[in-house]
Amino acid sequence: MKNIRLDKYLADMGVGTRTEVKGIIKKGAVVVSDKIIKDPGYKVSIEDSIICNGQNVVYESFEYLMLNKPAGYITATEDKKEKTIMSLIKSKRNDLFPVGRLDKDTEGLLLITNDGDMAHRLLSPKKHIAKKYYVELEKVIENDYIKSFEAGIVLKDGTKTRPGKLEVIDNNTVYLTIFEGKFHQVKRMFEALDNKVKYLKRVSMGTLILDKTLELGKFRPLTEDELEKLRRHIDGN
C-alpha cells in the first residue's frame, strides 16, 4: 500500500463513511504509531499501527466476495432509480465493485472485489476465462445446437462469437459455457438460433463455482482455497 490519507484508510476499512471518519479523527480518537492525529489528510502507510477508539484497525488490501445475485438488481455500484447489487453487500468498505456484469433478470455468481488487477485479468478478452450458465429456454433444443455452438454463433448483428460448449440437461434446459463476455451474449446466441432465454443463472467463472448453499441475495468471502485456485488459473491462462 502506498501512503494514503488517514480518513480514506479508516473509511476503506469500514470504520464509517468518509464524513463520519473525519469527525472521529478531529475528536482525537485516532492514534497513529503512538501519536494522536487530528488531521484527516495525514498520510499513513502499512507500517503504521492505527488505533481508532481503542481498537486496532488493520489494513486489508483486498477483499473478495462471492454473491448469489437475485433477479431485479442491476450490476452497478450506484443508480438513481434501480436497486443495485452493491446494496446487497453489507460492507462499509467503499472501494468494492463487481467483476463483470449480469443482466437485471439474470441470477447467480458475481465476484465482488476491490482488486482491480484481478478484475482486469478475469475480464480480459485475451484470457478467455470460461463462464458457465444454466439456461432455461422457451422452445425445445434442436439437434444441431451443440454443433452450432462448437462452431461459434453468428449473432443477428453479424458478429461471430467464439465457440461455446453446450451440455443438454433436458428438452428446454442446458448448461452453456462461453469464453468471452459480449453484451447480453447468452441471450443473443439463443436468439440467433430463433430460441429465447426464459431464465439465466451463472454457475461458474474460471475455477470459481457458485456455492450451492449460498441463498439468493447472500454473499460470503472467498475461501483461501478458492482464491488460490482462481489466482493460479488466471496466471496460467
Residues forming contacts to ligand URA in the complex (CB under 6 A) are 102-103, 106, 184-187, 200
Which residues partner with 173 through β-bridges? 136, 170
Q: Least distance (Å) from ligand URA to the CB of residue 100?
A: 8
What are the helix (H) ranges across 43-98?
none
Q: Can you tell me the distance from the alpha carbon of 170 to that of 230, in angstroms, rounded to the nearest whole number?
A: 31
Q: Which of 103, 157, 170, 235 is catalytic?
A: 103
The bridge status of strand 197-205 relative to strand 208-209 is antiparallel
State which residue, 88 or 102, has the beta carbon closest to ligand URA.
102
Minimum CB–partner distance for residue 110 and ligand URA (Å) = 10
Distance CA 120, CA 61 (A): 17
- DSSP-derived pairing of the beta strands 30-32 and 35-36: antiparallel
Q: Is 103 marked active-site? A: yes
CB of 107 to ligand URA, least distance (A): 9
Measured distance CA(169)–CA(165) in Å, rounded: 13
Question: What is the C-alpha separation between 62 and 170, in angstroms, rounded?
Answer: 41
Show the cell assigned to 161. Answer: 462469437
**In the complex, what is the shortest distance from the CB of residue 75 to ligand URA, in angstroms, rounded to a whole number?**
8
State the cell numbers at 53: 477508539
Beta carbons within 8 Å of 227's beta carbon, 6+ residues apart: 64
DSSP helix, strand, coil percent of the chain (3-state; round to 5)? 25, 30, 50
Least distance CB 230 / ligand URA (angstroms)? 19
Query: Which residue, 18 or 184, has its beta carbon nearer to ligand URA?
Result: 184
Among 173, 174, 150, which residue's Cα sits nearest to residue 162?
150
- 102 vs 234 by CB, closer to ligand URA: 102
The residues that are catalytic are 103
